[in-house]
Structure 1
Amino acid sequence: MNVCFLASSTDQIPNDLTIAEEEQDLPKEIKEKKKKGQLRTGLTTGTTASAATKAALYTLLTKKIVHEIQVTLPKGMMVKLPIKWTQVTHSSVTCAVIKDGGDDPDVTHGAEICSTVEFTSDIGTIQIEGGVGVGKVTKPGLGLPIGSWAINPVPMKMIKDSVNEILTSIAPSPSSVGLRITIAVPKGAELALKTDNPRLGILGGISILGTTGIVLPYSTASFAAAIRQGLDVGIAQKADTFILTTGGRSEDFMKKLLGDKYPDHCYVQMGDFAGYSVKQCHDKGVKKIFIGGFIGKLTKIAMGVKQTHVRGSHVSMDFMAQLAREAGASEEIINLILNANTARHVSEIIDSHSTTGFYNLVCREAARQLESYSGKDLKIEVILFDFEGKLAGRFST
């Protein structure tokens, strides 16, 4: 890969706040890189699938095989990925790209992701579907229709954007072309058994994921160093209030909610490490923090989970049902929640039954848990967004 992202870690994490709860299970080479203070960031399955698609379409239109291809990430950054192999038939082209997850211990690292592009008679349409090794959605609460391929919205848009780039630059009339694109992961079904996909109802393969196109090494101390660095930069500019978010989307939503009240250096992405981030704010003398996120991560925080990576913890439906009961939900709703598939599924149940106050209670419990890292002298305000960015709940200590 022609682009390499590096994150450094120079400080030891306190023993009582281990960032990676499963750190002892990391591959040996990652542990060695941690000792040296450098960890490499990779690219998502969505970025990899986009590259394979773009290369296949280019070859289909030009009859020229390429050995690398450039794709644009959601935030505008461009990266080049090598093409592993290309197969040409009389009616289609298939390209394969190896998924490079950097130093994040993800089961899809090294997986071969393929895209087959072929013309169809359905002029002016682009059909994108899954093939061998890509899972199908069989349960609610995942933000995708039941029966659909497990290709998330951002990767779907990246694939379409990559196709449009090629069509606009090469095809004589982009609207006169009909295409079918099939994303496949030859070992996807095997890899999926090592993930939470079967439990979540994604069957037959892996998901094509990614919101930024980039894989950060979340389960490593390098992310803790980035959190500390972000806080130190803000404090050096006299900031005493910080907005901690679980990721890029929640940060964007917090900026819309708070407007111009706080400059960019007040925003820090804490990822999965809420407890560690709050303790760092307390130790560095910060006066107030906002915590912004969505139902899944904030529920885990409310449950007292220190590290909210999906592989290290699960949302308790009993816990969510208890909060719903406190909010006045009927026994019918309680039973639906107890049998829900995901935290997002619970939110769909709550929204469809207009259970007032449930999200505020999630925020309250999250704030109470985070106080255990900071004491009463750090003011904490927790804000929960729905998946469209609408304010759903909030609570201040």
Structure 2
Amino acid sequence: MADAEATGGRTAQLQRTGLRHGWTTGACATAATTAAYTALLTGEFPDPVTITLPKGQTPAFALAAEEKSAGRAMAAVVKDAGDDPDVTHGALVRATVRALPPGSGVVFRAGPGVGTVTRPGLPLAVGEPAINPVPRQMMREHVAAVAERHRGTGDVEIEISVDNGEELARSTWNPRLGILGGLSVLGTTGIVVPYSCSAWIDSIRRGVDVARAAGRRHVAGCTGSTSEKAAVAVHGLPEDALLDMGDFAGAVLKYIRRHPVDRLTIAGGFAKLSKLAAGHLDLHSSRSQVDKGFLAELARRGGADEALAASVAAANTGLDALQQCAARGVPLGDLVAATARDEALAVLRGAPVSVDVICIDRAGTIVGRASPRP
């Protein structure tokens, strides 16, 4: 499963619905780590413990458990996902911090209930604990801040565990992705913003209305904040021309079919847009999956031999397939973008809208583009 990105559109939606936001697993792990390392250096656990999120918010977390012994401290917090239907809501997230020799840096370990990466194609190397890059950076920054305040070295091992996490992970796609033994520690903003499909689709429609009222003739439907940045970098679009599409590509296309603009840019991650290219209009992982056989056929069209096509069909993830093709000079990203553009045009049913597509990887690098048809 993935955490919702706390973007401006969803914040406005939160204000309309009155739904209560929550905290990502990564934020909870950071709070527990901060409390544990503080206790390791001072002998006292801060309770509640306050952290700073990537966008500057400073939530406080009550401790649910704490332990300390020589060279080791453990703190735990209960994850509160607010009103979001999150499988990890109520889970106990633990951080055990151990002192390491000077110069060791920060080392991450997967404790019970946290998965380990066993296949390539994810943003973490095989063998690494499934603690995503942003939560890792949050924990590193808080360890450094605690070390500075209390004259520590900042050289620690951080073991994150989630009570009952292995069982909870069976309700996620982790096992299929080769993340075994538990959950992933996720979160890009630290905040879980609750939403419903109807409310999100309503916000998309209102976004189109606002853009048209402002005289915008070019809008961008983006799957998240990273793809939004890519669309802005390419086209220089103003904020009111950006639609927080999320997984609802169909909602954007169908509404713009009835309320046209001159140009629509669709921007998103390679894997999500490969689903659109394959004809899916709902890009959520629970309702559509990356079709590696479809990617293999696109690779063949781009010049892949049968050995590469077979390897793409057997790839662990869409990112893995993309990387394999890039290494062999097959423009799979451009092929996905062009096919997604054509699928979008089919949904638009002749509406006077030109469409271009931008595919990005997890780092925000553009890996595929398709210009409007002549």
Instruction: Give the TM-score normalised by structure 1.
Output: 0.85
Please name the residue that 2:37 is paired with. 57
Give 1:200 deviation, angstroms: 0.8
Give 1:137 deviation, angstroms: 0.7
Give 1:282 deviation, angstroms: 3.0
Please name the residue that 2:364 is paired with. 389
2:336 to 344, 348, 362: 362
Give 1:246 deviation, angstroms: 0.7
Give 1:149 deviation, angstroms: 0.8
2:212 to 223, 235, 253: 235
Give 1:292 deviation, angstroms: 0.9
Task: Kindly indicate whether residue 109 of structure 2 is the aligned counterpart of residue 125 of structure 1.
Answer: no
Map 1:102-141 onto structure 2 (within 5 A): 102-123=82-103, 125-141=105-121
Distance 1:242 1:275 in 2: 15
Task: Kindly indicate whether residue 173 of structure 2 is the aligned counterpart of residue 196 of structure 1.
Answer: yes
Please name the residue that 1:46 is paired with. 26
For this pair of structures, how many residues does the alignment match?
A: 362
Counterpart amino acid of residue 293 in structure 1: G
Counterpart amino acid of residue 222 in structure 1: A
Task: Kindly indicate whether residue 260 of structure 2 is the aligned counterpart of residue 280 of structure 1.
Answer: no
Give 1:299 deviation, angstroms: 0.5
Could you list the structure 1 runs, at least 4 aligned residues long, displaced by more than 4 angstroms after superposition.
Answer: none
Assess, with a 3 A threshold, how the Cα gap between structure 1 residues 187 and 340 changes in structure 2: closer, same or farther. same
Counterpart amino acid of residue 192 in structure 1: A
Identity level (%): 37
Give 1:346 deviation, angstroms: 0.5
Secondary structure of the corresponding residue to residue 380 of structure 1: strand
Please name the residue that 1:298 is paired with. 273
Please name the residue that 1:206 is paired with. 183
Give 1:113 deviation, angstroms: 0.6
Give 1:254 deviation, angstroms: 2.1
Distance 2:39 2:15 in 1: 42
Please name the residue that 1:375 is paired with. 349
Can you give the 5+ residue segments of structure 2 that lack an aligned partner in the other structure? 1-10
Distance 1:326 1:124 in 2: 48
Please name the residue that 1:24 is paired with. none
Distance 1:70 1:197 in 2: 30
Q: Deviations over 1:103-125 (max 9, x none)?
A: 33221121111001122224462
Task: Kindly indicate whether residue 129 of structure 2 is the aligned counterpart of residue 154 of structure 1.
Answer: no
**Contact residue 135 and residue 187 of structure 2 kept, 8 A:** yes
Please name the residue that 2:8 is paired with. none
Secondary structure of the corresponding residue to residue 73 of structure 1: coil
CA RMSD of aligned residues (A): 2.2
Task: Kindly indicate whether residue 150 of structure 2 is the aligned counterpart of residue 171 of structure 1.
Answer: yes
**Contact residue 39 and residue 222 of structure 1 kept, 8 A:** no
Name whichever of 300-309 and 115-124 sits farther off: 115-124
Task: Kindly indicate whether residue 201 of structure 2 is the aligned counterpart of residue 224 of structure 1.
Answer: yes
Can you give the 5+ residue segments of structure 1 that lack an aligned partner in the other structure? 11-36
**Contact residue 300 and residue 315 of structure 1 kept, 8 A:** yes
Please name the residue that 1:99 is paired with. 79
Give 1:158 deviation, angstroms: 0.9
Task: Kindly indicate whether residue 221 of structure 2 is the aligned counterpart of residue 244 of structure 1.
Answer: yes
Distance 1:183 1:159 in 2: 11
Counterpart amino acid of residue 187 in structure 1: N
1:318 to 293, 311, 314: 293
Counterpart amino acid of residue 140 in structure 1: P
Distance 1:218 1:276 in 2: 15
Assess, with a 3 A threshold, how the Cα gap between structure 1 residues 241 and 159 changes in structure 2: closer, same or farther. same
Give 1:142 deviation, angstroms: 1.0
Please name the residue that 1:336 is paired with. 311
Give 1:182 deviation, angstroms: 0.9
